[in-house]
């Protein structure tokens, strides 16, 4: 399984782009409620507002049309809700400025922006992001794919190339898929490090696929929008 297109070769006429968290791996609730939200509260010292933050985070990432957003975009939305309640998170404007202008919401992009600005808030965001990745990696042995996923991927991969298109950390995706023997059914991984899902699908289309022979499988409005932006089909 390739993690970048330098060693990817188009083999089949058809392409299936597959989100991972919430579609292949039953990990969404665990990652958000056990890791990302508690770490956000800890790193940004939001203990006095923990209940509100937890409620907002779960609504944004699990129960709303915004499900599937980048973790960094979710932080901005939560901080905006806190601001609307009169609670200012120091430096939140630095985070919003990076999220709203960056072409790539990734660990590397965050590091570059931190080096450029020296922002304390971005340093905290980096600490939070790294802590999330460490804790998610530690939890990987408890994650499991949904029932029937391996057989479904096997049948799909027999007739189509398969790309993982996700907003999750690329190394975590690769580890999870390898652990459960799913990696052999995927040809390439696009994680948060390479930018938006729309850009990932566009990159695959540039390999020579006809848009009418490409399918995106996802569990969020963002997945549907990424498919629509490229003129390919979508299955929720």
Residues of the chain with CATH 3.40.50.1000: 5-26+144-235
Residues with Cβ within 8 Å of 176's Cβ and at least 6 positions away in sequence, in order, are 20, 25, 27, 140, 143, 182
Question: Which fold is adopted by the domain 5-26+144-235?
Answer: Rossmann fold (3.40.50)
In whole angstroms, what is the distance from residue 93 CA to residue 102 CA?
14
Q: In what order do the strands lie in the sheet with 214-217?
A: 188-190, 160-165, 14-18, 214-217, 233-235
**pLDDT value at residue 6:** 65
pLDDT at 141 over 90: no
- pTM: predicted TM-score of the whole model, two decimal places: 0.79
**How sure is the predictor about 31, in pLDDT bands with cuts at 50, 70 and 90?**
very high
Distances in whole angstroms, Cα of residue 88 to Cα of each of 74, 84, 99, 169:
16, 9, 18, 29
Nearest to 226 by CA among 203, 188, 189, 200: 200
pLDDT tens digit string along 109-136? 999 999 999 999 999 999 999 999 999 8
Cα(162)–Cα(210) distance, integer angstroms: 14
3-state secondary structure of 145: strand
Long-range contacts of the stretch 79-85 (C-beta < 8 A, 24+): 81/52, 81/56, 82/46, 82/49, 82/52, 82/53, 82/56, 85/52
* Spatial contact of 163 and 185, defined as CB atoms under 8 Å apart: no
The tokens 């609307």 sit on which residue? 84
Q: How far is CA 13 from CA 117, 210, 211, in A?
A: 46, 8, 11
Report pLDDT digits (tens) over 44-102: 999 999 999 999 999 999 998 898 888 999 999 999 999 999 999 999 999 999 999 99
* Percent of the chain at pLDDT exceeding 90: 75
């Amino acid at each position: 399984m390739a993690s970048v297109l330098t060693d990817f070769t188009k083999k089949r006429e058809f392409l299936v782009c597959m989100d991972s968290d919430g579609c292949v791996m039953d990990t969404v609730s665990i990652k958000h409620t056990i890791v990302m939200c508690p770490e956000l509260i800890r790193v940004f010292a939001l203990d006095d507002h923990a209940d509100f933050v937890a409620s907002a985070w779960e609504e944004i990432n699990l129960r709303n049309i915004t499900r599937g957003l980048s973790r960094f975009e979710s932080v901005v939305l939560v901080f905006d809700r806190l601001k609307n309640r009169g609670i200012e998170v120091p430096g939140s404007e630095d985070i919003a400025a990076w999220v709203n202008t960056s072409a790539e919401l990734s660990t590397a992009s965050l590091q570059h922006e931190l080096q450029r600005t020296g922002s304390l808030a971005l340093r905290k965001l980096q600490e939070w992001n790294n802590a999330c990745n460490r804790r998610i990696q530690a939890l990987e042995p408890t994650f499991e794919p949904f029932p029937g996923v391996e057989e479904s991927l096997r049948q799909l991969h027999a007739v189509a190339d398969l790309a993982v298109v996700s907003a999750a950390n690329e190394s975590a995706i690769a580890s999870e898929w390898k652990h459960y023997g799913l990696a052999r059914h995927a040809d390439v991984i696009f994680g948060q490090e390479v930018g938006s899902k729309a850009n990932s699908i566009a990159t695959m289309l540039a390999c020579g696929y006809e848009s009418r022979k490409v399918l995106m499988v996802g569990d969020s409005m963002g997945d549907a929008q990424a498919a629509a932006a490229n003129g390919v089909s979508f299955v929720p």
